[in-house]
Chain A
Amino acid sequence: MKRAILSCNGLDKPEGSVAREVAIRSADAIGGEIICPVLLNRAPARYKKALSDSSLIVVDGCSTRCATKLATRLGAKVERKVLVSDAVKASGQALESTLSLEPNGLALARTIVEELIRNLNAPAVAVEAVAEFETPTEYLVVTHDKFEFRIPVVDYVFNENDVWARALDGVARVGISDFMQQKLTDISYFDPPKVESVVEQFGELGSLESAKAVFEIIAPVAGVVTAVNPAVIDNPGLINEDPYGAGWLVEVKMTAFPQDEELLLDPATYAEIIKRKAAEE
């Protein structure tokens, strides 16, 4: 599939200038089309073909994430995202305060593009899932109005942030509950944690995005990320279709289990939480 690049326009902030530079350099490196966010917003038909034929690399300057919001609104398929303000923090090097690119900004743009290209060529996702799990067959069902929320009866534990864990041989597979996937509606992007990153219980395991919301995946267990579900990266809709099975998100080699269980919920208790949350909606 071809690639196109949708970037922050970068006119009013130093991070934006870096985003713009990243877009230009990425387009040169991979031969992708650059999509102007202003024109896309004004006349989406101009880029209809590019959006349907290409997967998007989205480059945001700051956390306002204008480019991401534009892509989400138009239902574009997003392959990768870059957030310059995060890259600035990770680099430990402040940007110059000028809007024109100076040495630090230029160096950061080069680094971001190098990493982006490296990741595109060799996805930083472990394809090998360690655990072998069978799809659950029996569910508790919480009903609220016309909605039904399913909760597997056995093997799954939950945190109150609507994330489940299923443990086997020291590894936990992690995903979001049926209640949360219905609340988010159609999930369009999974920003995964880095494989081999260390996470504390209730730390962050990446995030999910839909047109409706951004959802931080709060880790039910502490450990080391050993796998990210490649099928969900390619097709985040799997989370909506099968949140407890094919739509799993990551696997974590647990480092504090069963102690972590103290702050987790069994299916029946989680069902009570869902009832309360649904009533509060």
Chain B
Amino acid sequence: MAETTFMGVPRDQIPWFPTIDYEKCTFCMECDTFCPHHVFERREDDRKLVVANPSNCVVFCRACAKTCGPDAISFPGRPETIARIKQIREGVIVK
């Protein structure tokens, strides 16, 4: 299978995915129910929800955070992410 890319950059080189604040998360699973890309996974241990597939996350999408009542999901800044994508495209960062 061909490697997944975003704007010509390998997806796993782009650090865009949700981070869960476990101090705030109530494990309501709204984000997991919402996300069609299977970024999250439910677990049987203490951390009942994890970001299991970060590369499945749609770059620049933050829609799951908007479903989060306790405001427990954060994302990197868009400007830094764009800067990183541009740097990789221009060969400033060697993969």
A residues within 8 Å of B by Cβ? 13, 62-65, 85, 160-161, 200-204, 207, 213-216, 218, 262-263, 276
Contacts and interface: CB of A to CB of B under 8 A. Distances in A.
Contacts of A276: 2
Contacts of B34: 213-214
Contact of A203 (B2, B67, B70, B78): B78
A200 B67 contact: no
B11 to A, nearest CB: 11
B22 interface: no
Contact of A263 (B28, B63, B79, B82): B82
B71 A64 contact: no
A160 B7 contact: yes
B7 A215 contact: no
Given A161-B61, A202-B60, A214-B63, A63 B69 contact: yes
Contacts of A204: 62
B88 interface: no
22 contacts: A62-B70, A63-B66, A63-B67, A63-B68, A63-B71, A64-B69, A161-B60, A161-B61, A201-B82, A202-B78, A204-B62, A207-B63, A213-B34, A213-B36, A213-B63, A216-B60, A216-B61, A216-B63, A216-B66, A218-B61, A262-B86, A263-B82
B85 interface: yes
A19 to B, nearest CB: 12
A200 B79 contact: yes
A160 B6 CA distance: 7
